[in-house]
């Protein structure tokens, strides 16, 4: 499976179509973005792709993480976002902690 690489000048509709297409074929997709502009385009494309896939009956989740990539001999930090189908009942209740002064409980439907 190819990684969908997004740049700051990527068209969001084209990226969304690629995300949806790769997901339909593999039931999984990976998106990579380096820099604020690229991450912005990736997030907008994810919103569109989520809608496209919902029309086909898929409910997806996006899981972001940092990853190091080698570009022309230099290591850069990228955001990697994995797209997977949501499994009903998983993650029903999670607690996210943001330091000692703030905690939030997140409840999925």
pTM: 0.79
Question: What is the pLDDT, as a whole number, of residue 88?
Answer: 77
* C-alpha span between 81 and 22 (Å, rounded): 13
* C-alpha span between 97 and 103 (Å, rounded): 5
CATH code assigned at 27: 3.30.110.20
**Do residues 57 and 86 make contact, with C-beta atoms less than 8 angstroms apart?**
no
- Residue-by-residue pLDDT tens, the chain, 109 positions: 789 999 999 999 999 999 999 999 999 999 999 999 999 999 999 999 999 999 999 999 999 999 999 999 999 999 999 999 998 776 544 544 445 555 555 555 4
Domain enclosing residue 43, as ranges:
3-107
Q: What phi and psi values does residue 83 have, to the nearest 5 degrees?
A: -110, 125
CA atoms within a 13 Å half-sphere pointing along the CA-CB vector of 44:
16
Number of domains in the chain: 1
């Amino acid at each position: 499976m190819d990684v969908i690489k997004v740049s700051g000048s990527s068209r969001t509709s084209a990226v969304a179509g690629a995300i949806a297409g790769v997901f339909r074929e593999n039931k999984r997709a990976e998106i990579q973005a380096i820099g604020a502009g690229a991450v912005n385009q990736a997030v907008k494309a994810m919103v569109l792709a989520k809608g496209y896939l919902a029309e086909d009956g898929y409910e997806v989740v996006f899981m972001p993480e940092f990853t190091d990539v080698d570009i022309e001999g230099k290591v850069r930090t990228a955001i990697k976002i994995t797209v997977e189908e949501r499994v009903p009942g998983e993650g029903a209740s999670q607690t996210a902690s943001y330091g000692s002064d703030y905690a939030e409980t997140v409840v999925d439907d």
